[in-house]
Chains A and B, each alone.
Chain A
Amino acid sequence: MSDTDAAELDQAPHLARRAVQVSPVYLDHAATTPLLPAALAAMTEELAQLGNASSLHNAGRRARRVVEESREIISEAYGARPSEVVFTSGGTEADNLAVKGLFWARRAADPARCRVLASATEHHAVLDSVSWLAEHEGAQSDWLAVQPDGTVSPETLADAIERDPATVAVVSVMWANNEVGSVQPVAELAATAAEYGVPFHSDAVQAAGQLPVSMAATGATALTITAHKLGGPVGVGALLLAKGEQPVPVLHGGGQERDVRSGTLDVPAIRAFAVAVQEARQRAGEEAERLAGLRDDLIAQVLAAVPDAVLNGTPPGPGRLPGNAHFSFPGCEGDALLMLLDARGIACSTGSACTAGVAQPSHVLLAMGADEARARGSLRFSLGHTSRQSDVDALGAVIGEVVERARRASR
């Protein structure tokens, strides 16, 4: 290198500072949505406080009071009793606890109960928990087929249980799909499971911020929710767990949460979680309507620019998450589309899992009957509380050119 280059090298930290830019157009709220200002304020204030919620002294009691007030807010928002809220580190832990814990408990009570019924489009937190039980715990995984729109019909569930009701340990069907946004008929599915006396879990991570999710209204045994999808911090969530259910713990230790979940409670995160839930629920109806309006315009703009794009999942309406639009773009690789949009300041997702950074064909789309090419050439745009018309317009302005370019790249 020349001397000039070497001198510039001393400035290398400036290069690093230039690095992280927040995308001005954020269309990936289903991955995580910005922290609500009120949640940030509550969390910041709480971080400065002292106290372990399990301690018996004054500082501990103060922390405990914050946790219990938060528990009450969250339970009320989701039609549960306060004692039915089990705080966890997030959605993945809650899903693991529900699926594995309920399986173990049910099988311990009756060794014939070896079947786990779950939809083929579950999030990996459920999908891989079920597969793990099958590989290591002698469980039998029964995947519930979905219809082309991604939903499980109650008849499919009834048929699956009916094959041998006495052998079903637990059923898990997500409330709304994280990739394609399809909302499941959870109340009917839960009722079907209840007819046979089988516990029913639903991963409501995507739904909890946008739809009226309720334990009481559905009769579900367990619901998974998480803070960072609805404006709270990453790293806290809950399993809403019906009274009397005692899943075998996944984490062993102090038994802080109903002897079902151990670990010191994260008081600042729990308080911020409750603040976010409160705010999300307060404006849920009108926000869902606002997002659905933006989303419908996004769909219209994308289809106008790319007429052969295919909207995956259920049609816009009550059967679809209001903030979700998920397309297949024929002849494109999803990762090329994502990169081109990223370079134009637009953040979105292929929606499916990565292995070593390589996007895998979506198991959700494959289960819905898509071929591998269509499953690879897909993108998810998801809206949230900071989304504005300008975000949708920015996407509409470039998507045609981006798709054309991505098509050239996969020829």
Chain B
Amino acid sequence: MSGGVDSAVAAARAAQAGHDVTGVHLALSRNPSSYRTGARGCCTLEDARDARRAADVIGIPFYVWDMADRFHADVVQDFVAEYASGHTPNPCLRCNEKIKFAAVLDRAVALGFDAVCTGHHARLDRVPETGLTRLVRSVDPAKDQSYVLAVLTGEQLGRAMFPLGGSTKDQVRKEAADRGLGVADKPDSHDVCFIADGDTRGFLTRQLGSAPGPIVDTDGTVLGSHDGSYGFTVGQRKGLRLDKPAADGQPRFVLSIEPVTRTVTVGPAEALDVTEISASKPVWSGCTPPAGPVDCVVQLRAHGEVHAAVCEPDGDLVEIRLRDPARGIAPGQAAVFYDGDAVLGSATIVTARPGCPVP
């Protein structure tokens, strides 16, 4: 229970459905006041208090579990290391993979619990014939969180409960108010919970120090310099701080980041178009690992649009060919494969190339 409205209503629904529910708030910061202050984050003393009050109102036991060391090692350090290697990580995804449905789930199972129930907006479809638990998008497309859950394995999903997937956020807020939960009107959390001021580049600079390098165009012509390539993400337009406009007067975007030479390559928007993507570490929770090419739709960033595609496992990789180009695809982000609203699997984007669209 983060102290937000979603997990509070999820806990209330699970308790009302007759489950023996225990509320757990995760202490993720080694120093509770060092993470975000104010009401928006998921890591503050006030959030712990809100979560405790929600548990009181629901009538369930409540404990704080200290996951600070695991969170620091598996999420914060991973976040920093990913940026340092030119990738764009998704820490919420990593937290689901390594903390909520790994460290927390393992501890819970060892202590005698059967499942981890969260307030994520996604549905679970348990298919008795196959024994599979398929992850399905929320009925509220604006709040759907299947993308950051798709990294979970079938085994992890089998131990998960998402009671909110069939409701819209508005319904959840109204229900919270009806249940007398004080967090009914609490603003949604945004951004990265462990970056107190929301300044990711500042955070990375403090972690990684200054690491200057050149900004070049696609011909290799040096256009400017930067203090650290980790401050950039593919597709980024703002904050390049280039003196001279492009010859054609068009805006320039980050095309690629090369961490060893710390070279940031920029170019026109069209150069961001990709149709071929290689992704690693595939997880196939919604189907048996495909033996050949599979038609599906793929989502390439959180809250991003979907693209029709053909994906094909190739050793430890998945080769993805899009039917139409996608723009600004950043290595480190997840590629999530869907069959309609149901998740087939997920993999981590390694490279993206212009290539040729699938006919």
Contact = CB atoms under 8 A, between A and B. Distances in A.
Interface in A303-354: 335-336, 339-340, 342-343, 354
Contact of B58 (A15, A335, A342, A410): A15
B15 A356 contact: no
B63 A339 contact: yes
B45 interface: yes
A356 B63 contact: no
Given A1-B175, A19-B56, A343-B22, A405 B167 contact: no
Given A12-B179, A405-B111, A356 B58 contact: no
A357 B64 contact: yes
A409 B111 contact: yes
In which size bucket is the chain B interface?
20 to 34
A342 B178 CA distance: 30
Contact of B45 (A19, A340, A356): A356
12 contacts: A8-B16, A9-B179, A12-B179, A15-B15, A15-B58, A16-B57, A16-B180, A356-B27, A357-B27, A357-B52, A358-B27, A405-B112
B48 interface: yes
A359 B27 CA distance: 11
Interface in A7-30: 8-9, 12, 15-20
Interface in B19-45: 22, 25, 27, 32, 45
Nearest to A9: B178
Would you list the 10 A-B pairs with minimal beta carbon distance, nearest first? A357-B64, A19-B59, A409-B110, A356-B32, A408-B110, A358-B66, A358-B27, A15-B59, A18-B59, A409-B111
A408 B175 CA distance: 38
Contacts of B22: 339, 343
A1 B171 contact: yes
Contacts, number: 75
B179 A358 contact: no
B325 to A, nearest CB: 42
A32 B86 CA distance: 56
B49 to A, nearest CB: 9
B111 A336 contact: yes
Contacts of A357: 25, 27, 48, 52, 63-64
A356 B48 contact: yes
B64 A356 contact: yes
B111 A1 contact: no
Interface in B103-132: 106-107, 110-112
A405 B175 CA distance: 36
A355 interface: yes
Contacts of B15: 15
A339 B56 CA distance: 16
A411 interface: yes
Given A1-B175, A406-B111, A409-B110, A343 B32 contact: no
A91 B106 CA distance: 41
Interface string A190-220: 0000000000000000000000000000000
Contacts of A336: 107, 111
B111 A335 contact: no
A3 interface: no
A408 B48 CA distance: 26
A203 B171 CA distance: 54
Contacts of A358: 27, 32, 64, 66, 68
Given A16-B57, A18-B59, 13 more contacts: A8-B16, A9-B179, A12-B180, A15-B12, A16-B58, A19-B57, A336-B107, A339-B63, A340-B112, A356-B64, A358-B32, A409-B106, A409-B107
